[in-house]
């Protein structure tokens, strides 16, 4: 590997007193997503308290779903001999975003239906906030020195200290031989910010029928996660030789395509039915 002329340093700390910065980034992402959803819902004629009420149930469900997804997909690598505390300890990471988004959206839609809200309009209001929350939350991985990819000598390579290389193959443990890695946390954060902009543009221009914006999120996030997973080298559960998250990305792409291609009249009936 060529000498590194420039690099992104990893922070020398991951907490402020008792506060884990990982958790702070997730919390900030949630606040930003709820705020964006409220503004968009009010613009559609709704009341901002509707979104707050949905978030009150959807956010905890999302945290639980994210943890369950992480445990299931990394059980062989991390949890075979784990204690109960290990299963519930999320202070230093261990949240699977796909599980969190799935659980949060499902519970949120249930709450919206119980409140008698229009499901299509609710989805269109809150969906751009999903990648926004992810974009902000991913910075917690920078402080934790996790979610990085293959070694690289690009100017934006990420420095990882030796104590945080335990999850990657042994041949990359030498700090002098492999000083920097692809900052996949940054790639995903930037991708998600671009996805927020794309979703807002699609909705503003009215390019897709009401209630279909979720398809753009599924396809956009699936594409981004697919190429990001191909860069990562950390230990992960595999199925048929592929990382579980690659299969998940493919499922998101297929699901998004199905939603987008669903017959418009039938989709409208499903959205409007109460």
Q: What's the pLDDT tens digit per position in 22-37?
A: 889 989 999 999 999 9
- Within-domain flag for 192: yes
Instruction: Give me the pLDDT at residue 28, please.
Output: 95
- Within-domain flag for 113: yes
pLDDT mean over 259-269: 67
- Within-domain flag for 170: no
- Within-domain flag for 50: yes
- Within-domain flag for 241: no
Output 250-255 pairs: Cβ under 8 A, ≥24 positions apart. 250/222, 250/226, 251/222, 252/98, 252/218, 252/219, 252/221, 252/222, 252/225, 253/218, 253/219, 253/222, 253/223, 253/226, 255/218
- Within-domain flag for 231: no
- Within-domain flag for 80: yes
List pLDDT tens digits, range 93-148: 567 777 888 899 999 999 999 999 999 999 999 999 999 999 999 999 999 898 89
Instruction: Give me the pLDDT at residue 97, please.
Output: 79
- Within-domain flag for 62: yes
| Complete DSSP assignment for 49-81 | HHHHHHHHHHHHHHHHHHHHHHHHHTIIIIITT
Please give the residue range of the domain that contains residue 191.
15-144+179-208
Domain count, the chain: 1
In this prediction the pTM is 0.86
5 pLDDT band, cuts 50/70/90, is: low
List pLDDT tens digits, range 226-237: 999 999 988 777
- Cβ partners under 8 Å of residue 106, min gap 6: 61
List pLDDT tens digits, range 211-228: 899 999 999 999 999 999
């Amino acid at each position: 590997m060529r000498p590194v002329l420039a690099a992104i340093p990893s922070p020398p700390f991951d907490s402020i007193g008792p506060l884990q910065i990982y958790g702070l980034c997730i919390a900030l992402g949630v606040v930003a997503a709820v705020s964006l959803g409220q503004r968009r819902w009010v613009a559609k004629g709704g009341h901002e308290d509707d979104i707050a009420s949905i978030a009150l149930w959807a956010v905890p469900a999302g945290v639980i779903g994210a943890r369950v997804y992480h445990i299931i997909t990394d059980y062989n690598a991390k949890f075979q001999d784990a204690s109960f505390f290990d299963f519930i300890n999320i202070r230093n990471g261990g949240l699977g975003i796909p599980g969190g988004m799935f659980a949060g959206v499902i519970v949120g839609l249930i709450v919206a239906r119980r409140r008698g809200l229009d499901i299509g309009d609710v989805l269109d209001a809150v969906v751009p906030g999903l990648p926004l929350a992810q974009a902000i939350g991913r910075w917690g991985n920078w402080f934790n020195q996790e979610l990085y990819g293959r070694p690289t000598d690009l100017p934006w390579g990420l420095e990882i200290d030796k104590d945080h290389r335990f999850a990657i193959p042994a041949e990359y443990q030498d700090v002098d031989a492999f000083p920097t890695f692809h900052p996949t946390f940054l790639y995903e954060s930037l991708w998600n910010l671009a996805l927020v902009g794309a979703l807002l543009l699609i909705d503003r221009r009215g390019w897709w029928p009401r209630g279909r914006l979720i398809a753009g999120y599924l396809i956009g996030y699936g594409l981004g996660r697919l190429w990001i997973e191909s860069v990562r080298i950390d230990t992960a559960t595999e199925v048929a030789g592929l990382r579980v998250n690659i299969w998940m990305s493919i499922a998101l792409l297929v699901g998004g395509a199905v939603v987008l291609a669903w017959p418009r009249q039938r989709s409208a009936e499903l959205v409007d039915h109460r």
